[in-house]
Chains A and B, each alone.
Chain A
Amino acid sequence: GAVVSQHPSWVICKSGTSVKIECRSLDFQATTMFWYRQFPKQSLMLMATSNEGSKATYEQGVEKDKFLINHASLTLSTLTVTSAHPEDSSFYICSANPGGADTEAFFGQGTRLTVV
């Protein structure tokens, strides 16, 4: 199957600093990628849709100035958590669908962010 790679797998940062998370499609081109957030014992919630060459689409309640998304190439999307606070601590995970609509989504490994 297709491979989506996410880096780093975990990161600890100080409150007020920024953290960048990378999501790469290794064996296919992804014009669209998705970013989800998962708090402990909860479901995955879509944060935003990352579009290659254009602005990301954010879900209601997600601050676009806090969660910066850049999709500069067909194989890389980045999520930057700016001015991180402890409440941003969560599991962030990206996905892409190489086959297009109504096909299997492939997930990155996820990034465990801890803000101290």
Chain B
Amino acid sequence: GENVEQHPSTLSVQEGDSAVIKCTYSDSASNYFPWYKQELGKRPQLIIDIRSNVGEKKDQRIAVTLNKTAKHFSLHITETQPEDSAVYFCAATQGSARQLTFGSGTQLTVLP
């Protein structure tokens, strides 16, 4: 089955700086890669996703890059704000399956 590894587990940045979180996946058949933000006790919220036919996607301060050859994808948050503080999860789905395999999560703290 799919295995998703995520780094770092914790990340602290100063407000206004950029944050980068990286994930690798094992199954070359995976074709959909969402990123979620989860606040304590709440459901995961999709912040951006990318499909395997695209190398990069951007939405305002958030961007995701995908390297299919290397089987890794990254989340980039620019101009970080304290409200960006949360746990971020990457995930992958394979082929026609819709179940998500999640990374281990990154606790992002943006220091004011």
Distance of B1 from chain A, by nearest CB (Å): 9
Distance of A59 from chain B, by nearest CB (Å): 9
Return the CB mask of A81-113 against B: 1 if under 8 Å, else 0: 000000000010101010011111101111010
Give the size category of A's interface with B: 20 to 34
- Mostly, the B contact residues are loop
Q: How far is it, in angstroms, between the C-alpha of A51 and the C-alpha of B93 when the chains are bound?
A: 18
Residues in chain A near residue B43, CB distance under 8 A: 93, 107-110
Distance of B75 from chain A, by nearest CB (Å): 15
Q: How far is it, in angstroms, between the C-alpha of A109 and the C-alpha of B43 when the chains are bound?
A: 5
Return the CB mask of A6-22 against B: 1 if under 8 Å, else 0: 00000000000000000
A97 touches B34 (CB 8 A): no
Using A34-B98, A43-B105 as known contacts, say yes or no to A101 and B93 having CB atoms under 8 A apart. Answer: yes
Interface presence of B99 (CB below 8 A): yes
A-B pairs, top 5 by smallest CB distance, nearest first, are A102-B32, A107-B43, A97-B98, A43-B102, A101-B96
